Amino acid sequence: MQTLNRVVASPAGAILFLCLAAFLEAFGDSLFQSAFYRQSGVGRWMAIGCGGLVLAAYGASVNLPRWDFGRLLGVYVAAFFVVAQILNRVRFGQSPTPSIWAGGALVVAGGLVMALGQR
């Protein structure tokens, strides 16, 4: 636990860890989407079970470190947007529309404002 706290104490470590958390959340969500709309039978239940495990790992990853998660939330939301768009393309073959790119640019800009703003 102390090692994890040291990792997230540095800005680069915190950003990398938040990107990992964003991946876990987006991937877990994508497993549920696959289960509900693209799977049937045993495959559906396996995707639901795996999705639950991945989302539990996400929950643990953002709550184990001792950090000011509220302050890092902007960075997290920006990372989640980027990771979700990549997963959407890779797993489902869907590309973002121009309006999603525009809104996403605002999300990322907002995350940068929160991360780099005065403390």
Instruction: State the residue range of the domain holding 44.
Output: 2-116
Number of folded domains that form the chain:
1
Mean pLDDT of the chain: 90
> Looking at the predicted structure, is the pLDDT value of residue 11 above 70?
yes
Which tops the pLDDT comparison, 64 or 47?
47
Distance CA 44, CA 52 (A): 12
By the 8 A CB rule, do 103 and 111 touch?
no
Residue 113 confidence (pLDDT): 87
- Decide: helix, strand or coil at residue 97: coil
Report whether pLDDT(69) > 70.
Answer: yes
What average pLDDT does this structure show over 30-34?
95
Produce one character per residue of 55-91: b if its CB has 16 or more CB atoms within 10 Å, e if not.
Answer: beebeebbeebebeeeebebbbbbbbbbbbbebbeee
